[in-house]
Amino acid sequence: MQADDFKREYQVVKDYSVYYTDAIVMQSDDKLTITEKESEWVGWVWCTNERHNKSGWVPEKYVERQGDKATALVDYDAKELAARVGEALTATLEMCGWVWCKNQQGESGWVPLDHLEQKG
């Protein structure tokens, strides 16, 4: 799920609390069901992993869609990361307004880009 050539340092400028505590996880070739659900974030689809029966937002480009069914194209984890103002994060992936970050304690997850400011 990470891009080897992408690494950016951020500082949290707005607190972020985890909204979905039981995040969807998928492996390549997992079968998914897509539900039409409105989101302020363009490029994301609401999916349910049929193997785990967990739902969550998945980048649209990570699935091959056939109507309301889909197949996972990559391994993916929708885990969110709580972040506090002033905290330093290292991002290794940016996707449709969100970044996959690691904090100083070694925890990783998604944080909205509009809660962060790039350092340097």
For position 4, what pLDDT does the model report?
Answer: 53
- Average pLDDT score over the chain: 93
Same fold, 8-19+80-118 and 25-77: yes
Q: Where are the domains of the chain?
A: 8-19+80-118, 25-77
**What is the CATH superfamily name and number for domain 25-77?**
SH3 Domains (2.30.30.40)
Tokens 């707005």 label which residue? 14
Residues 26-65: pLDDT tens digits?
999 999 999 988 888 899 999 999 988 899 999 999 999 9
How far, in Å, are 1, 15, 18, 70, 81 from residue 12 at the CA level? Answer: 22, 7, 14, 34, 12
**Is domain 8-19+80-118 in CATH 3.20.20.70, yes or no?**
no
How far, in Å, are 66, 72, 88, 101 from residue 106 at the CA level? Answer: 37, 27, 11, 10
For position 5, what pLDDT does the model report?
Answer: 63
What percent of the chain stands above pLDDT 70? 96
For residue 90, pLDDT over 70 is answered with: yes
For position 13, what pLDDT does the model report?
Answer: 98
For position 88, what pLDDT does the model report?
Answer: 97
